[in-house]
């Protein structure tokens, strides 16, 4: 298999649109994140959304806990390029307000809004304005009666809670929604998503909630989301990290890249290094990863310390180096085309990768014409 192929067959689902981002029915899996600034601080929240846009986020969720936050949302929305989801708990009037201000999706659980007339007001508004809804159930906040019935947040308990909200939207004849059933325990979340995937046709938003810091959270998310994605389950995802939200986006894309589901930017292939390495592989990869963060064109770059695995990986990559004494073999599109001085490798590779990314970008643009 080349670096480009993914053997994954996606679960069939219906399609919704969050702004102009398609979700489900074979659309690229969207990477989401969430702001963690105070929403009433418009300047800081917009700055964070712009930082997320720079690392390629597809959709951003913003908490709207109060009417003041809803008023701030108006100005945040005006200054954002990516679609925004408003995260609302309980207060249906906030949902109506942000709908007026152009929100692209409402994260609100219909069962928590209150009486039928309030639910109808939100659903009618969503229908009128073509705004989808995300039902989001978390293992930590299940309804009291479900907690009592199951004793603990089992996958069945989480799915029962989600289906209550789904049934309400069904009753109101509203099918433009996606659902998440998050848990902080990987096995619980995976089982819940597997169960839910069999019960509804709508897209699923994946996440392991409260996953942890950058390292532990990335690993938990990669295992949990990886298991589901390899089974074809999942149409959007968020990697929840106790970290800067841009890290969530980078890890999200890394998970998709690792599974060959969606490529964005450079997929580095690097050896773990050993005493055979002919140049400092770790330093080279770390510096290039940072310097080339802005590249969004998908390409594989292999940085391998010696000729044991270097040529093999380079042949299957867009660009690659195989470590050699003072100079390393340089490969492009699977062909060895020369050698690079190990001393100036980082700068030379950066320049070559940037030039190649530009060529590939133009090629993709021409094909799409």
Residues near ligand SF4, by CB under 6 A: 271-274, 276-277, 304-306, 308-309
Identify the helix (H) or strand (E) that includes residue 350.
helix 345-368
CB of 3 to ligand SF4, least distance (A): 17
**Contact by Cβ (8 Å): 173, 149:** no
Closest Cα to residue 259, out of 63, 71, 29?
29
User: d(Cα 299, Cα 167) in Å, to the nearest integer?
Assistant: 44
User: Quick one: 13 or 273, whose CB is closer to ligand SF4?
Assistant: 273
Q: Token match 């008023």: residue?
A: 71
| Tokens matching residue 143 | 């309804």
DSSP string, 100-115: HTT-SEEE--GGGS-S
The answer to whether 134 and 93 have CB atoms below 8 angstroms apart is: no
In a 3-state reduction of DSSP, which class is residue 310?
A: helix
**CB of 314: closest distance to ligand SF4 in angstroms?**
11
In the bound complex, what is the minimum distance in angstroms from residue 122's beta carbon to ligand SF4? Answer: 57
3-state secondary structure of 221: helix
Q: Which is nearer to ligand SF4, 24 or 305 (CB)?
A: 305
The nearer residue to ligand SF4, 112 or 309, going by C-beta atoms, is: 309
Tell me the closest approach of the beta carbon of residue 310 to ligand SF4, in angstroms.
6
Provide DSSP, 109-168: -GGGS-SHHHHHHHHHHHHHHT--EEEEEEGGG--HHHHHHHSS--HHHHHHHHHHHHHH
Q: Least distance from C-beta 331 to ligand SF4, angstroms? A: 14
**Secondary structure of 52-67 in the HEC alphabet?**
HHHCCCCEEEEECCCH
Nearest to 352 by CA among 363, 338, 368: 338
Task: State which residue, 242 or 274, has the beta carbon closest to ligand SF4.
Answer: 274
What is the C-alpha separation between 133 and 346, in angstroms, rounded?
Answer: 46
Q: Which two tokens stand for residue 90?
A: 């309980």
Q: Give the distance from CA 111 to its chain's centroid.
A: 27
Considering beta carbons, is residue 110 or 324 the nearer one to ligand SF4? Answer: 324
For helices 345-368 and 281-291, what crossing angle results, to 10°? Answer: 40
Euclidean distance between CA atoms 223 and 258, whole angstroms: 12
Identify which of residues 298 and 305 has a Cβ nearer to ligand SF4 in the complex.
305
Smallest gap, in angstroms, from Cβ of residue 339 to ligand SF4?
A: 17
Is the CB of 171 or the CB of 276 nearer to ligand SF4?
Answer: 276
Nearer to ligand SF4, 136 or 323 (CB): 323
């Amino acid at each position: 298999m080349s670096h480009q192929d993914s053997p994954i067959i996606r679960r069939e689902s219906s399609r919704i649109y969050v702004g102009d981002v398609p979700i489900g029915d074979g659309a690229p899996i969207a990477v989401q994140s969430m702001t963690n600034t105070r929403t009433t601080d418009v300047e800081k929240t917009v700055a964070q959304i712009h930082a997320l846009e720079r690392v390629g986020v597809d959709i951003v969720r913003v908490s709207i806990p109060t009417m003041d936050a809803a008023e701030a949302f108006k100005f945040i929305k005006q200054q954002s390029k990516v679609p925004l989801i408003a995260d609302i708990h309980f207060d249906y009037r906030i949902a109506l307000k942000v709908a007026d201000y152009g929100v692209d999706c409402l994260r609100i659980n219909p069962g928590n809004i209150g009486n039928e007339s309030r639910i109808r007001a939100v659903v009618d508004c969503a229908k009128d304005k073509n705004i989808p809804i995300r039902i989001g159930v978390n293992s930590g906040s299940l309804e009291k009666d479900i907690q009592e019935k199951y004793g603990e947040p089992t996958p069945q308990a989480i799915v029962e809670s989600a289906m209550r909200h789904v049934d309400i939207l069904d009753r109101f004849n509203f099918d433009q929604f996606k659902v998440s059933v998050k848990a902080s325990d990987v096995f619980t979340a995976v089982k819940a998503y597997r169960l839910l995937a069999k019960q509804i046709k709508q897209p699923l938003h994946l996440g392991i909630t409260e996953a942890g810091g950058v390292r532990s959270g990335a690993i938990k998310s990669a295992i949990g989301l990886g298991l589901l994605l390899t089974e074809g389950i999942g149409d959007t995802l968020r990697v929840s990290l106790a970290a800067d939200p841009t890290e969530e986006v980078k890890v999200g894309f890394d998970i998709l890249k690792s599974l060959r589901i969606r490529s964005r930017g450079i997929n580095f292939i690097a050896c773990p290094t050993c005493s055979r390495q002919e140049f400092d592989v770790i330093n080279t990869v770390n510096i290039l990863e940072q310097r080339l963060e802005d590249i969004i064109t998908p390409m594989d770059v292999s940085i391998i310390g010696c000729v044991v695995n270097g040529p093999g990986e380079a042949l299957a990559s867009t660009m690659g180096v195989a470590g050699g004494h003072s100079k390393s073999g340089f490969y492009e599109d699977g062909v060895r085309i020369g050698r690079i001085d190990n001393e100036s490798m980082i700068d030379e590779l950066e320049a070559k990768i940037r030039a190649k990314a530009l060529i590939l970008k133009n090629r993709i643009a021409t094909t799409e014409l």
